[in-house]
Chains A and B, each alone.
Chain A
């Protein structure tokens, strides 16, 4: 038996936990650079605002309905998430931190406990200790736990906790027939369209689909989903996060950028970030892609969205090497005369650093490789201890004209002495 505990509108709730004046009011949290909505309070959802809507398109609506916009505050979210996961760890011996605001718990062997009541205890605990509203979904597989969480969120009568295993066969059928197949974990938009062509529209249709046909037409992954919907647990808790297959580091600029100089600094620092992530998961990369974008919403301006793939002769995780490749790529795709809104770097063809093969014709010696590895380890250690960016490449520059825009900042209530919440004594 599994549970999925998922916070309600996590980013918005983090702000509300420390600023009660936001309660009951329409609130959106904006992405880096205040680009688009990444979190919406229920009041904003009720106004029909979709996830990812660009903020500038909402100015009118925001004025009319008093929508409060907040720039994202990742310092706050990170600390609240850490506390959230630690609180949940007390409720089960096994825990999988699935995302910043979602966590699977293993309830195997919890036969003698009323799981719905246990779910309510979890909910109450997180609400009281953190001021964070959460929902709990319980089911015999991870897929059903996730679906139950969806039910707990959407249907008020369950008061935030839904246990699929308590349903009779008939109740299960009725419930699954009332939910679209696209709501199932791992069934994306494209896949649900393909399923619909086969007459599979609801979750019940999917559960009752023939596994052999599903495997032939789609994949073993979809077949596994079907089995999981039948209550056969195929996915175990992943207590160790899996290494990513690709690493993207990109951001929109605070203001549009024209000069190659500025782009070089931005791309260099994104590459540095990406390389840090790469080394943290003990991988090396075999290819690097650089991309640029003008602002697609400024339809009266010339548009240019180039990208270039730089294959590397030998997989590496060396920041210096990656930055020099990124700079060469950038120079090749950069064209003057455009106003760029976004740049980024993607590392692809990642592989395990330990098992990577040196190239026969490589001009790097074993000593070079070891030297580079030691240098990177030292760099990472110093930056981890002294703070990100303490040691950096000159290519990253010092004055970041393109740096993040935060027009609606909020205090980092839990991680800075100077930004603590105020206790009014008046």
Chain B
């Protein structure tokens, strides 16, 4: 929505001048402009006291993807992680820059596939746990057998 006001004005003028309708200017190079929404109407004489407190808008990208270079989205297939709130079809946000810890939800490479599991790593024992009693844990013999692809930081579960 860049420079929207100016091109509406321009398009009106163009329409009267040459009887053409300018739909808008396409400019992919322009920076995205976030315009704060003022809830108050501007009334003559009395500015809203809230206008002094306008802050920057909230961005989901900034909140959920602090390291965009190392962040990837994956789609869940299966129901073995339901106990962790991860359902079939959910979207996972995975940050590869994070160190996996005991208890992290991770994406692990198992038999050539990316698999979502809870990492158990305690007292020299390593395993990839499911969060659904219908599935068994995968024991891992030694650190060298454990290949962690990334650490899951968020689940996006669509409700409709």
Contacts and interface: CB of A to CB of B under 8 A. Distances in A.
Interface of A: 18-23, 83, 86-87, 128-131, 378, 381-382, 384-386, 413-414, 417, 420-426
Pairs A-B, 5 closest by C-beta atoms: A21-B112, A425-B78, A384-B28, A129-B70, A385-B26
A421 B77 CA distance: 10
Contacts of A128: 70, 96-97
Given A20-B149, A381-B27, A420-B73, A425 B109 contact: no
Given A86-B69, A384-B26, A425 B96 contact: no
Most chain-B Cβ atoms within 10 A of its Cβ — which of A20, A130, A131, A378? A20
A83 B69 CA distance: 5
14 contacts: A20-B149, A83-B69, A86-B69, A87-B70, A129-B67, A129-B69, A130-B70, A384-B28, A385-B26, A422-B75, A422-B77, A424-B78, A425-B86, A426-B80
A420 B26 contact: no
Given A381-B27, A385-B28, A131 B114 contact: no
B75 A425 contact: no
Nearest to A413: B72
Contacts of B81: 425
Given A414-B72, A425-B130, 11 more contacts: A19-B112, A20-B109, A20-B114, A20-B149, A22-B112, A83-B70, A378-B26, A423-B116, A425-B79, A425-B88, A426-B78
A320 to B, nearest CB: 19
- Size category of the B interface is 35 or more
Nearest to B134: A426
B27 A385 contact: yes
A378 B28 CA distance: 11
Contact of B113 (A21, A86, A385, A414): A21
B110 to A, nearest CB: 8
Contacts, number: 95
Contacts of B96: 128-131
A417 B80 CA distance: 23
A83 B81 CA distance: 30
A420 B74 contact: yes
Interface string B110-150: 10111110000000000000100001000000000001010
Given A128-B96, A130-B96, A381-B28, A423 B114 contact: yes
Most chain-B Cβ atoms within 10 A of its Cβ — which of A129, A131, A382, A426? A426
A23 to B, nearest CB: 7
Contact of A420 (B75, B78, B97, B109): B75
B48 interface: no
Most chain-A Cβ atoms within 10 A of its Cβ — which of B28, B86, B88? B28
A421 B69 contact: no
